[in-house]
Structure 1
Amino acid sequence: MAMNLEDYFRTIHEEQVLIKLPVGERYLMTGATQMLEKRREIIEVDKQLKAHREEFELKRKSLRQRRDEVLMKEEKLKESLLNFDRFLKENDAKRSRGAKKAENERKVVLQKEAEIQRLKEECAALEEIKQKLQRRVQRSNLYWNFLEQVLKMAKFEEVWELLGRFETLLITREQLCQRESGVQEQADSQRGALQTYIDQQSCLLLQNNNLLSQLQTQLDQTCSEALTWESKWNHIQNTAAKETLLLGQIKMATLNLYQMTDGEIGGEEGVAIDDTEEQLDKIQIFIQNHTDIVKDIKPPPTDTTLD
């Protein structure tokens, strides 16, 4: 069908079929309540179906009468066309209008027949919905019987009192579950925060231990280097003392040699007592001069060979 039957049914009969339930902030629809409401819906649907059938029958009768009238008019029109065929050419405009009118009447009949078919399909769909609701009610009878047995065993006199008590217990249970869930979430959050704090402290302790180990290693290396440098410093001090003593002895020897060459100490022509290099230069000059003198006064070697 071009139109959804359930949507059509909902649009046409929404105000008559739907049953308004009490609305509350914590209202809960139970199985027994649904069963009661479905029974009331079936009764209302039956009423609507009866009214709809009556209306459908009236429309169908009207459409039949209209179709018969159209057929009669069509027959008369055919007869007129056959009897006055000779006037067709002269009355072409009238014939054209008559044909259009017949076509319009034929379209109206087709539309009415389509509407009849649509109404039949709607009735079939409503009948199917009714059967579904009846089957649903039959399936729900088990809960209704159980509810009646519970009502006999309980202290309540009416079903609505028992349902109200049950709904109150459900609401209380839901509140307790929500409260328990909130407490559990809070405990999980605190437990997670505690574990995070423990992990952070563990990481911090591990970092401090690593830093302490590095500092201890650096301290050991520094102490070892300090001992090495201290040993080198002692060796340097001992070596410097020996070198200083040897230098002093060399300077004293040089000064004695310089004095033995009749060299002057101090004054404008003399050499400073600490100028060891100048003194060595003077001693070198003295040795060279005396070496030349010795060469000059040395007798020539005698020839001991005999002819």
Structure 2
Amino acid sequence: MAFDLEEYLRTAFRDKLRLPTVPTRDGAALPPSARLPLKRREVAEVERALQSQREEFRQRMERLAQRRRQLGRREEELRDVVLKFDAFLKVPGRGPGPGPAVGAPADSVPAPQASAARRERALRRGDEERARAAGQGAEVARLRRELEGLLRRRERLARRLRSLRGFGDYLRSVLAGMGQFQDIPAMLAHFGALAGARAALAQQAEAGQEQLAQGRARLRRYREEAGSKLLRTNDELTRLRARLEDARRDVLQGESHWARVQSTATQKTLLLGQIKLAVLNLFQLATARLEVPTDVALEDTEAQLDTVLLCMQDLAAISAELLPRQPGTCPPRLPVATSINPLRHGGARVPPSQE
């Protein structure tokens, strides 16, 4: 029976004397005002479980006290039996029972040895009972410590409930003012859904911020690359502008040279025109005086000049024939005509040097 009590206490106080696990929610996602009904519900459940455990513990303590009283009475009875047995052993020539008579066989167990064995068994049984009682006392002390811990936890939860009572009143006033939800848990569930959506949006915003930071980094690298390219382009543009200035100076020099060439050409053209006019006048005078056929074009200045030269040669030849030659003088030499046909007009004779 003592063994059954020990097993009962060991299993009962280990498995049953425990508070039920209260389902908890993520407190970090809810504000203190939202956690108040949850804590109040948890405190109520803990209070009910603690009350039931206290009643069960009281009943078990009563049974344990009754068992201890029984063990005490049993120990007193065993002590009385041991004392009586000791007194019986002190009487010479008597045993605890009918025992063998005087003159019994030699192989039978003597009465003092049998009484000593029974006494030893009784003492060992008493030690075992006292050890069991001590173990039960230790278990009772442990259960009392657990009860004290549960009471302290209850006191802490009660203090926290009193501190959060204002939030509960606030939630009830909000629920009454809104009129959208049936009770506070429904409102808290809706608020939890909103908090989850807000957390998801915050996570998306954080991801967007990371993408924005990456985009800014890429933009900064692109600006640096574009700046370096722009510097190289500016250097190239500066070199091209320098080359353009050199080309412009060369163009200005070429234009000035071309202007001088054009001016010189204009002067030469003007001089050539004057020469052509002079040759034409001489040609017209010569042909008019000498009656030379004028079958030469007006633009053929070379032919006109040849005609004038031929006329001058004819006149020089005629003058040489008519005037006597003075000794020591040579007739003037005229330039040779460029025309290959000798000129014949008015019966005048062409000089032999021109034939």
Structure 2 length-normalised TM: 0.47
CA apart distance, 1:141: 1.1
Structure 2 unmatched runs, 5+: 1-12, 90-110, 236-355
Q: In structure 2, what residue type is equivalent to 1:187? A: L
Which residue, 166, 187, 202 being the options, matches 2:191?
A: 166
CA contact (8 A) 1:74 1:102 kept: yes
The answer to whether residue 76 in structure 2 is matched with residue 81 in structure 1 is no
**Structure 1 counterpart of 2:144:** 120
Asked whether the equivalents of residues 42 and 133 of structure 1 are also in contact (C-alpha less than 8 Å), the reply is yes
Residue aligned with 1:108, SS: helix
What are the equivalent positions in structure 2 for 1:140-179 lying under 5 Å apart?
140-158=164-182, 159-179=184-204
Larger helix fraction of residues: 1
1:241: which partner in 2? Answer: none
Aligned with residue 194 of structure 1, among 219, 223, 228 = 219
Name 1:185's counterpart in structure 2. 210
Q: Deviations over 1:205-262 (max 9, x none)?
A: 889999xxxxxxxxxxxxxxxxxxxxxxxxxxxxxxxxxxxxxxxxxxxxxxxxxxxx
- Secondary structure of the 1:156 match is coil
Secondary structure of residue in 2 paired with 1:18: coil
For the pair 1:69 / 2:73, whether they are aligned, the reply is no
Residue deviations 1:144-173 (CA, integer Å, cap 9, x gap): 122222233324243345434433433343
Aligned match of 2:51: 50
Sequence identity (%): 27
Q: What amino acid is aligned across from residue 94 of structure 1 in structure 2? A: R
What TM-score, normalized to structure 1?
0.54
Q: State the Cα RMSD in Å.
A: 3.6
Size of the aligned set, in residue pairs, is: 198
Task: Mark the structure with the bigger radius of gyration.
Answer: 2
The CA deviation string for residues 51-110 of structure 1, in whole angstroms up to 9 with x for no partner, is: 222222222222222222222232233333333322765422222211111011001111
Q: Deviations over 1:92-151 (max 9, x none)?
A: 222221111101100111111112211211111111111111111111111112222223
Cα shift readout 1:8-49 (whole Å, capped 9, x = no counterpart): 9999545x341477x9xxx95453443222222222222222
AA partner of residue 44 (structure 1): E
Q: Counterpart in 1 of 2:38?
A: 37
Following TM superposition, where does structure 1 have runs of at least 4 consecutive aligned residues deviating by more than 6 angstroms? 8-11, 203-210
Cα distance in 2, alignment partners of residues 58 and 114 from structure 1 = 18
CA distance, structure 2, for counterparts of residue 165 and residue 71 of structure 1: 63
Instruction: Give distance in 1, aligned partners of 2:177 and 2:57.
Output: 50
Aligned to 1:18: 22
Select the residue among 96, 104, 110 that pairs with 2:120. Answer: 96
Q: Distance in 2 between matches of 1:9 and 1:90?
A: 44
Which consecutive unaligned segments of at least 5 residues does structure 1 have? 1-7, 211-307
- In the other structure, the counterpart of 2:129 is 105
